[in-house]
């Protein structure tokens, strides 16, 4: 099975999950499904579909097909031991976020995390709690 990574093809064995391979960037729709699975832990296609349908117009068969593709890619695991298949994320949320954030920093901000932070904080209002967390992180970074 072949997938595109950095505009080139790589071979990913079907029996391996994403945690054992180099990360492949999930599509926007796949990320929406992963967000639901990360929050629920385990879910049927129906439950995922209901979660998606709450914020956008999507057909059940589209959700089913996407989840089948994600299973083939190794993004999700499927337990088909019962009549209703149960899915769970096969990729770690934090690792996926870190990978996507690094790719975004590289491609949009010329590799500068400072530019990302300036852009993010300049465009949105951070709560006092968020500012405290940011300040604590900056203090920790200064100590290193």
The answer to whether residue 62 is domain-embedded is: yes
Inside any domain, residue 49: yes
**Cβ-contact 48, 63 below 8 angstroms:** yes
Same domain, 70 and 117: no
Looking at the structure of the chain, the number of domains it has is: 2
Residue 100, in any domain of the structure: no
> Are 34 and 74 in a shared domain?
yes
Rounded Cα–Cα distance for residues 138 and 143 (Å): 9
Residues 80 and 121 in one domain: no
Domain with 82, as residue range(s), is: 2-89
Residues 121, 52 share a domain: no
Q: Which residue has the tokens 């996507």?
A: 100
The single residue listed with the structure tokens 């049927």 is 44
| Interval 52-104: pLDDT, tens | 999 999 999 999 999 999 999 999 999 988 888 999 999 999 999 999 999 99
Query: Does residue 68 sit in the same domain as residue 127?
Result: no
Secondary structure E strands in the chain: 2-5, 8-11, 43-44, 76-79, 86-89
Indicate the SS3 state at residue 16.
coil
Same domain as 120, residue 65: no
80 in the same domain as 14: yes
My answer on whether 26 and 84 are in the same domain is yes
My answer on whether 118 and 68 are in the same domain is: no
Look over the chain and give the mean of its residue pLDDT values, rounded to a whole number: 84
Residue 121 in any domain: the answer is: yes
Tell me the per-residue pLDDT of 117-129, one tens digit each, with 9 for 90 and over: 888 888 788 889 9
**What pTM, to 2 d.p., does this model score?**
0.71
Q: Can you give the pLDDT at residue 22? A: 57
96, part of any domain: no
The pLDDT score that the predictor gives to residue 89 is: 96
Q: Mean pLDDT across the stretch 101-118?
A: 91
Asked if 83 and 131 sit in the same domain, the reply is: no
Same domain, 85 and 135: no
């Amino acid at each position: 099975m072949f997938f595109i990574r950095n505009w080139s093809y790589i071979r990913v064995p079907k029996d391996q999950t994403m945690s054992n391979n180099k990360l492949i960037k999930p599509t926007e729709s796949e990320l929406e499904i992963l967000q639901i699975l990360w929050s629920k832990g385990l879910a049927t296609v129906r439950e995922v579909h209901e979660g998606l349908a709450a914020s956008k117009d999507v057909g059940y068969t589209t959700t089913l097909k996407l989840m089948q593709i994600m299973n083939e890619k190794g993004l999700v695991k499927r337990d088909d031991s019962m009549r209703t298949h149960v899915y769970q994320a096969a990729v770690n949320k934090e690792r996926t976020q870190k990978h996507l954030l690094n790719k975004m920093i590289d491609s949009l901000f010329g590799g500068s995390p400072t530019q990302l932070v300036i852009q993010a904080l300049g465009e949105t209002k951070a709560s006092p709690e968020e500012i405290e967390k940011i300040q604590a992180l900056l203090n920790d970074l200064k100590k290193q």
